[in-house]
Structure 1
Amino acid sequence: MNRPLRHVWLVISVLFVLLFTSTTYFQVVAKDRLNAHSQNDRTLYNEYGRHRGAIVVDGHPIALSETSDDTYGYLRTYDPGQMYAPVSGYYSVLYGFTGVERSLNDTLSGEADALFYHRISDILSGRQGQGATVDLTLDAGAQEAAWNALDGRRGAVVALDPETGAVLAMVSAPSYDPNRLASHDRASVQDAWTELNEDPDRPLTNRAIGGDLYPPGSSFKLVVAASALESGKYTADSEIPGPGTWTLPNSSAVMNNHAGGNTEACGPDDASTLADALRQSCNTSFAMLGVDLGEDQLRETAEGFGFGQRQEIPMSVTPSTMGEGMDDAQIASSSIGQYETRVTPLQMAMVAGAFANDGVVMQPQLVDAVRTSDLSTVAELTPKEVGQPLSAANAAEMRTMMVGVVEDGTGTAAAIPGVEVGGKTGTAEWGEGRAPHSWYVGYAQQGDRKIAVAVVVEEGGYGSQTAAPIAKDVMEAVIKP
């Protein structure tokens, strides 16, 4: 081989090695990075050109893929959008996805491991691949009742089936229209995104399971009362002190007995039973009770209800918390739902559910079933226990005390004629010069129908006036549909 031919062969060999190396790099080494690149439109077209399963509530698809005449192939639509948006989330060509759209993306897109054999069947039969349908546990009547009762006010409602953990209602307000973010018109999507993120009311936040969390106020007295019963030192008839005012230990701060600066004592000789203290929502009684129980006892009970645990429903839930290493003054404030006690409405619905389920806390779950395009079921709700913070006997005693709150205490606005309703109101202070948050936490049962509910209205004032009527509407939708 003469010298010029050798040079040509060498150049060709080098070019072949470079071509092989670059091809290997881009197709193997850099594949994932390039696929995930925000400017890779081909990935977007592949993703949105695939059929996506529906999200269904009581037989009605609240999220659906419809064919589109553009390059994406399918358009995601939501109906009704705002009422379910905190649950469904959005599926956007620009901003990704949230809610169930995100947490069950593999299932909805058909890529989940559980759908492997279904994908093979589609390939062999020549059918176009389709995502699975996700049936949610939500009760359409309860969801609508919660949405209408909140009426756009900032806050959240969560309702659970105490025996299974099924989420019957999850509303966060204000909400947003996910159709605006799912549009294929990029300019309008960007405008909607900017508008929603600049809104001081934070409509994109699911207040039911996340956000900044809330002080629970007097609704946390349910946890303290349960802890007292479980300690073995108290019963519902135990007499506890409840003076009109109480100077916190090692502090100059003075606690009033009731919200609004009311300094009336809880009973004759500044004392009452535990049941009466809960019925009247006596601050000093529960502050002193919490100090007597101590941080360890209170924390053990709270953790039994799910505090400190990260829940996946399948969306991620921010853990509820208590302060740590507290002195007696801080324990006293924590015992009436203040200081560093912070909760999600979902967590407080779990607390109420435990009392209606003989002391057992069930894992909240939003998915009732997953079905393929041929209607075969590949997954169903399986009830799971989170813990048992109190015995069945003490849960029954708590129910009796909570019924007293509704029948002749601060929670009368939640009463439903002919139905056993028990609960606890809360008025949670959270900022100087700001109106307190309004809470109601409770349950209702009639025959084999049960519901546990938690309602919070931001800056709603007294729980007895604002949150309790909302809870009543939601409970009625399930108990008396």
Structure 2
Amino acid sequence: MNKEVKRMARVLTVMCLLFVSLIVYLSHFQIFKAQEIKDNSFNKRLWIDEENILRGMILDRNGKTLAYSERTEDSTIRHYNYGNLYSHIIGYSYREYGKSGLELTYNNELLNLKDSTTFKEIKKIIDPDGEGNNLKLTLDHELQEIANNSLQGKKGSIVAMNPKNGEIYAMVSQPDFNANELRKNWQDIMENTDSPFLNRATNGLYAPGSVFKVITAVAGLESPNVNKSYDCKGSITVEGYTLKDYGGKAHGKLGIEDALVKSCNSYFAQLGLGVGKEKLGNVSEKFMMNKDIPFDLPVKSSKFDYGEKIGKTDIAASSIGQGKTLVTPLNMAMVTSAIANEGNMVKPILVKEIRSPKGNLLEVKDTETISQVTDPLIANQVKNMMVEVVRRGTGANANIQNIKVAGKTGTAENPTGKTHSWFIGFAPADDPKVAVSVVLESDGTTGGSGAAPIARQIMIEALNRIKE
């Protein structure tokens, strides 16, 4: 009898464990996985809604239609009015290929599916041919075209934004693709080694080169006990590894301003070592490196490694934007925006408004500070140094007549053997209206000769065209 009781007890125990495991699994699924699966672009239930609801329009800041849908006798067609121009921002929406870009992020808003499940089902019965909401972006179509044309024939990215409120005025990634012709070109795009689907502005990780010296300068200025004077001999050797200045040029005795103006590698490697990896790492993270940047599109985290295994050679290299340091163009646009905005880094905004089909305002995105990178005094010191970079230094090709421009060039070595050409900056320096980040991927030019003239053009056009 005791054996029977024990056997039954074991069976009951096993059954209870299985039952509890099932409850735990279902609870985990419901809490952590349900929304992810519901929002998956290949979820067939979403396409049932697509059959009945006319997808909302996507407009630029001035009301120009960038994407819209129309019903035919047997289907709904999504039109992308400018083909390639917004392929990485708006993305695409296809039954067989899923969704990307804002089409994915704002799928529920574009289909007007933000209601509760019960109400939503009743609504579909009452109004089977409903309309989705419309998105109004912060982008300026003309500036987007100008930025895109300036990159033709090159790989890379341009980001232009308002440093005070975070609105993105232009965001371009090359190469791109035509969202209207995916069915015809899908296989070719997938096999293209230049990765046209990659949004380089948000997901391209690049060695920043000397544009990173802006961050190192902030860390140095926040460290009053670190020596700011240095006698540059054209190179510096750290633990047997030699870092050279561009062309091996010796700059002589320098303070921090002249070091930034001349983009002296030796100076900033020495400054980074004096500041130390903990301080440099902490300042980098205030600039949103190693962190998730909140945005309307997925953004890869920039990388600054300052862990226990990082030695002096790594810190010296990272201080000048080489080594293991990697950044996205969007992040660098935010870095220069924070300097322009007295040390306040604001959240970047791409979708400004969501409106109903009848034009009623449903949601508006407000400015939000996400990081205080440094105090206003130090931010203004760095700003003034960046003004000198453009006035008399490596950024001279970004100079605009009668407008004070602040900027920093970068020429970044990378595994391809051809340097990335960088420029970050803003204008007017005394009352910043636009901040830019330009990277020409493996272009083989310096930041001053390659990226700076493009940045100049974008700043001029933005100042002329966009009225707040």
Distance change (3 Å), C-alpha of 1:354 and 1:115: farther
Within the candidate set 200, 203, 216, 1:224 is matched to 216
Alignment of 1:385-424 (within 5 A): 385-424=369-408
The answer to whether the aligner puts 1:138 opposite 2:130 as a matched pair is no
Within the candidate set 433, 438, 448, 1:455 is matched to 438
Q: Give 1:439 shift.
A: 0.4
TM-score, scaled to structure 1: 0.83
Conserved in 1, the CA contact under 8 Å of 2:340 and 2:432? no
Conserved in 2, the CA contact under 8 Å of 1:241 and 1:288? no
Distance change (3 Å), C-alpha of 1:38 and 1:110: closer
Corresponding position of 1:165? 166
Alignment of 1:55-454 (within 5 A): 55-57=58-60, 58-70=62-74, 73-113=75-115, 128-181=129-182, 189=183, 191-211=184-204, 213-233=205-225, 238-248=228-238, 250-251=239-240, 253-258=241-246, 262-267=247-252, 271-325=253-307, 326-431=310-415, 434-445=417-428, 450-454=433-437
How far apart are the structure 1 equivalents of 2:197 and 2:395? 31
Q: Give 1:214 shift.
A: 0.3
SS of structure 1 residue aligned to 2:170: strand
SS of structure 1 residue aligned to 2:269: helix
- 1:195 is matched by which residue type in structure 2? D
Count residues in correspondence: 429
How far apart are the structure 2 equivalents of 1:203 and 1:256? 35
How far apart are the structure 2 equivalents of 1:414 and 1:38? 42
Conserved in 2, the CA contact under 8 Å of 1:320 and 1:343? yes
Within the candidate set 56, 73, 77, 1:53 is matched to 56
TM-score, scaled to structure 2: 0.85
Corresponding position of 2:455? 471
- 2:107 is matched by which residue type in structure 1? N
Q: Give 1:317 shift.
A: 0.6
Distance change (3 Å), C-alpha of 1:473 and 1:120: farther
How far apart are the structure 2 equivalents of 1:229 and 1:43? 53
Distance change (3 Å), C-alpha of 1:225 and 1:116: farther
Distance change (3 Å), C-alpha of 1:67 and 1:295: same
How far apart are the structure 1 equivalents of 2:260 and 2:454? 21
Conserved in 2, the CA contact under 8 Å of 1:49 and 1:74? no
Conserved in 2, the CA contact under 8 Å of 1:437 and 1:456? yes
Deviations 1:76-108 (A, max 9, x none): 110112111110001112010000000111101
Conserved in 2, the CA contact under 8 Å of 1:278 and 1:405? yes
How far apart are the structure 1 equivalents of 2:449 and 2:341? 27
Distance change (3 Å), C-alpha of 1:427 and 1:110: same
SS of structure 2 residue aligned to 1:254: strand
Conserved in 2, the CA contact under 8 Å of 1:449 and 1:479? no
Q: Give 1:68 shift.
A: 2.2
After superposition, the CA RMSD in angstroms is 2.9
Structure 1 alignment gaps of length 5 or more? 1-30, 182-188
Q: Give 1:479 shift.
A: 1.2
Which range moved further: 307-316 or 238-247? 238-247
Greater gyration radius: 1
Distance change (3 Å), C-alpha of 1:125 and 1:467: same
Conserved in 1, the CA contact under 8 Å of 2:290 and 2:302? yes
Distance change (3 Å), C-alpha of 1:309 and 1:116: farther
How far apart are the structure 2 equivalents of 1:150 and 1:37? 33
Distance change (3 Å), C-alpha of 1:56 and 1:316: same
How far apart are the structure 2 equivalents of 1:54 and 1:374? 12
Conserved in 2, the CA contact under 8 Å of 1:290 and 1:335? yes
Conserved in 2, the CA contact under 8 Å of 1:62 and 1:81? no
Distance change (3 Å), C-alpha of 1:113 and 1:220: farther
SS of structure 1 residue aligned to 2:96: coil
Q: Give 1:426 shift.
A: 0.5
- 2:76 is matched by which residue type in structure 1? Y
Structure 2 alignment gaps of length 5 or more? 1-33
SS of structure 1 residue aligned to 2:400: coil
Conserved in 2, the CA contact under 8 Å of 1:230 and 1:391? no
Q: Give 1:113 shift.
A: 4.2
Q: Give 1:228 shift.
A: 0.9
